[in-house]
Amino acid sequence: MPDLKAVEVARAAAEWWAGQGAGGRRRHLLAYKSSIAGRIDELAALIRAETGKPTAGALLEVMLAVEHLDWAARNARRVLRRRSVSPGLLALNQAAAVEYVPYGVVGVIGPWNYPVYTPMGSIAHALAAGNAVVFKPSEVTPGVGEWLADRWAELLPDRPVLQVVTGDGETGAALCRSGVDKIAFTGSTATARAVMAACAERLTPVVIEAGGKDALIVTADADLDAAARAAVFGGLGNAGQTCAGVERVYVEQAVHEPFVAALAALMREVTPGAGPDAPYGPMTTPAQPGIIRAHITGALARGARAVVGDAGSVRPPFVDPVLLTGVPEGCAAVTEETFGPVLVVNPVAGAEEAVRRANAGGYGLAGSVFTRHRRRGLALAGRMRVGAVSVNSVLGFAGVPSLPFGGVGDSGFGRVHGADGLREFSRARSVTWQRFRPPIDLMTLRPSASALRVSLAMFHRRHGALSSRSRDRRDA
């Protein structure tokens, strides 16, 4: 059993941290943010060393993470302040308010694909809401996790409000069972199930940010060049190892051919490499190329057509871009997370069918729509069964720190980022205080007959209950 003394240490730190108040936490978090931002090159180099991603991708990841941290630090006081609410008719003698209080210690379990950006979505909001955090990074990226904790320790060496525990899945499982007050998990859907089962033992609440199989819808009126460029970025960026990356494209039949031609031309220009300036790098884990190859061969065996690349594009640790079309909907390449630079581009009769197919799978993380008509785009976006949608861009929401992020179905539940992300790491507590004695008191073992009569009369009047005479008339 991995040693998780960090959770005990975090308890005392959590008390101190909660006692700092929103103003104190904001000051410390902004200092923490600056210490990360000031050493962005160092952190990007470490991300690159552990994941293989090119420098630009690593820098972008840190920049986005810092934006979210900054937002959480600056907005926690406003979002989580105590709010007075109406006491309602029954309790007019009371004043009522809702408060948002920290959980205590939050365990954060992170993946390797964006080892700073994704866990920071939970870490920043959990800290800003007043919790201490024990972070378990992926065993693939332990150095990045330790680097983030070291920056905290430099600023507040005696206040271990953010700590890191490294290890494999067993350490993650132990963290789930350690008595932390909440678990924020980001990773695959399969591991999410194990995390929930472990958390169920102690009724530890969880937020789950799991996998995706995101669809991009291209309507006949769309700017096809813009849609193709977006599909390239969303599908090939980070070697396709992006939870909310584009894996499926549904294109209206009328423009399927020109869209595929435009997309194929762009994809043929891209070659992955190990250098810092490569468009994308190697697959980060040794298991992934095999999964990608299986998805490609499975689709081709069932009649799909490879427009760019084929199974031979998988040459570990690299995978060249692959564009498949006419892929039967039951194939793994359509239903399961490929997590590689493979785009399935299928024609559809119209936008209705595109939405139906986009919504058909178990995942529901994010999606995108390309159309020149704003209203139509927003209407289609509103019908996608996902947690986030971009119109005329991909991943447009990722850089907007006030927007919540999270999925539905197999992609998980709960939200990080934005005001919802701050509330995710707070418990709502209700408070009432009596301002004067109630003129009609029902909260007593022997309410007076007149109090009951007046209350019932008000009840019937307010809720439209029929008097017995009206009921008789209705039933006659």
List of residues contacting ligand NDP (CB under 6 A): 109-114, 118, 136, 138-140, 168-169, 172-173, 176, 186-188, 191, 194-195, 209-212, 243, 337, 365, 407
> Please, where are the H alpha helices in 92-188?
117-128, 142-155, 169-176
Omega before residue 205 within 30° of 0, cis: no
Selected catalytic residue, list 209, 247, 337, 424: 209
For the record, the structure tokens of 175 come out as 């963290």
For the record, the structure tokens of 103 come out as 């959980």
The nearest distance, CB 442 to ligand NDP, in angstroms, is 48
Residue 209 annotated in active site: yes
Beta carbons of 306 and 323 less than 8 angstroms apart:
yes
The values of phi and psi at residue 358, to 5°, are -60, -35
CA distances from 406 to 111, 337, 421 (A): 15, 16, 9
The nearest distance, CB 4 to ligand NDP, in angstroms, is 12
**Biggest alpha carbon distance in the chain?**
86
Selected catalytic residue, list 199, 243, 247, 336: 243
Beta carbons of 322 and 235 less than 8 angstroms apart:
no
> Mind giving me the DSSP string for 137-153?
--TTSHHHHHHHHHHHH
For the record, the structure tokens of 24 come out as 């104190």
The nearest distance, CB 119 to ligand NDP, in angstroms, is 9
Output 188 or 392, the one with its CB closest to ligand NDP. Answer: 188
Nearest residue to ligand NDP, by Cβ distance, number only: 172
Residue 42 annotated in active site: no
The nearest distance, CB 476 to ligand NDP, in angstroms, is 60
The nearest distance, CB 338 to ligand NDP, in angstroms, is 10
For the record, the structure tokens of 305 come out as 């057509």
Give the Cα separation of 319 and 295 in Å (integer). Answer: 13
Output 32 or 112, the one with its CB closest to ligand NDP. Answer: 112
Residues annotated as catalytic are 209, 243
